[in-house]
Amino acid sequence: MIIEDEQNGNDKAEYGKAILKNLATQLTLEFGKGFDDSNLRNMRAFYKAFPIRDTMCHELTWSHYRQLSRLDSERKKEYYMQEAISANWNSRELQRKINSLAFERVVHNLPNNSKPSIQNLIKDPFIFELLGLPTETNNTEFAIETAIIIRLQQFLLELGKGFAFVARQQHIATDTSDFYIDLVFYNYLLKCFVIIDLKTGNLTHQDVGQIDMYVRMYDDLKRSPGDNPSIGILLCREKDETIVKYSVINDKNKLFPSKYLLYLPKEEELKHLIEQDRLNFELDTNQEKYG
């Protein structure tokens, strides 16, 4: 009724304010608390965002829908709705995902009706403010690993869908050497192991060679016949796009360098990081396509 009445108003903004103020007074007198003009604005936004009742999901609460109503595109709403349901996010976690631009941080734009793939599960950058580590000091790889294990549930939510923890500092032995992989996960949607190598500095070609070796070694020594080829994620403080372009990363679909941040940046800074990474990806893709 609010929406329909507003559409007949001469000055929609001012007219809408007057309607809400008058309605808030009337409804409060008749029904009591819960009908102030702020709540009525939320109700109006909810109706605009979800005018068709059949599109709603009973697994989500009013707190979820209040946040979803503020999103500016149907694709974002659909993404966050499905993720909130499948990962069982509470409204607080949903708000964190929206604030940290989780949809925009997926490596590639999600195609409509996309099936699970590594391209639409890996984010860049990862936001690790949930680890509670100080940002003004240089944290060691051991400190970051320890914080991840302590806050494993929150870390898994930041990683994305389908991840299960396997091991920390997993020992891999060959005939001549011993190696220790920082973190190993298994993704039950992709049916593959995911190896994470943590670096506190900038990306180097030695880091790329190491993660490539770890993935090959893990496939040879640990992968079962029913598993898909393993995936390697190299988490570093800064990516060098030249190294990414001219290393084995550019030739493979199973090695992914991702930047991580120990704080939640301002929205404009995060948008700039995402856009810069997307431009680099599109440039590399066009060069491969057109030579």
Residues constituting the chain: 291
- Residue 230: what pLDDT? 92
- Residue 280: what pLDDT? 62
CA nearest to 114, candidates 86, 75, 64? 75
- Residue 197: what pLDDT? 92
- Residue 180: what pLDDT? 92
Same domain, 12 and 146: no
- Rounded to 5°, the CA angle 175-177-178 comes to 115
Same domain, 122 and 91: no
Would you tell me the crossing angle of helices 74-86 and 91-99 to the nearest 10 degrees? 140
How do 163-173 and 178-187 pair as beta strands?
Answer: antiparallel
- Residue 248: what pLDDT? 73
- Determine the 3-state secondary structure of 35 from DSSP: coil
- Determine the 3-state secondary structure of 255 from DSSP: strand
User: Considering the domain boundaries, does residue 178 fall inside one?
Assistant: yes
Same domain, 91 and 142: no
Pairwise CA distance, residues 232 & 219, whole Å? 11
- Residue 99: what pLDDT? 86
Provide the token pair at 233. Answer: 């994620």
User: Considering the domain boundaries, does residue 264 fall inside one?
Assistant: yes
Separation of CA 99 from chain center: 10
Same domain, 52 and 24: yes
Same domain, 180 and 95: no
Provide the token pair at 243. Answer: 């190294």
> How do residues 3-50 score in pLDDT, each as one tens digit?
777 656 545 556 566 778 888 888 899 898 888 888 888 888 888 888
- Residue 68: what pLDDT? 93
Provide the token pair at 122. Answer: 């890996």
- Residue 195: what pLDDT? 93
Asked which of 99, 128, 144 is the last residue of a domain, the reply is 99
Same domain, 200 and 233: yes
Same domain, 151 and 22: no
- The DSSP 8-state label assigned to residue 274 in this structure reads H
Pairwise CA distance, residues 147 & 54, whole Å? 42
Alpha helices in 104-195 (DSSP H): 141-150, 152-159
Pairwise CA distance, residues 69 & 95, whole Å? 12
- Count each helix (H run) and each strand (E run) in the chain, helices first: 11, 6
List Cα–Cα distances, 205 to 25, 182, 234, 245, 246, in angstroms: 66, 18, 11, 11, 9
Query: Which residues constitute the domain of residue 89?
Result: 2-99
- Residue 41: what pLDDT? 86
Same domain, 65 and 188: no
| Partner residues linked to 193 by β-bridges | 186
Same domain, 131 and 267: yes
User: How many folded domains does the chain comprise?
Assistant: 2
- Residue 277: what pLDDT? 66
CA nearest to 240, candidates 184, 278, 202, 283? 202
Same domain, 127 and 270: yes
User: Considering the domain boundaries, does residue 175 fall inside one?
Assistant: yes
User: Considering the domain boundaries, does residue 18 fall inside one?
Assistant: yes
Q: What is the pLDDT along the chain (291 residues), one digit of tens a residue?
A: 777 776 565 455 565 667 788 888 888 998 988 888 888 888 888 888 888 777 788 889 999 999 999 998 888 898 899 888 887 888 998 998 888 888 887 755 555 555 656 666 777 778 888 888 887 778 889 999 999 998 888 888 888 888 999 999 998 888 888 999 999 999 998 899 999 999 888 888 888 889 999 999 999 988 999 999 999 988 888 877 777 776 777 666 788 888 877 777 677 877 777 777 666 656 555 555 555
Same domain, 133 and 89: no
Same domain, 184 and 273: yes
Residue with token string 């891999």? 172
CATH of the domain at 182: 3.40.1350.10
User: Considering the domain boundaries, does residue 195 fall inside one?
Assistant: yes
Pairwise CA distance, residues 255 & 231, whole Å? 6
User: Considering the domain boundaries, does residue 104 fall inside one?
Assistant: no
pTM of this structure: 0.61
- Residue 282: what pLDDT? 61
- Residue 219: what pLDDT? 92
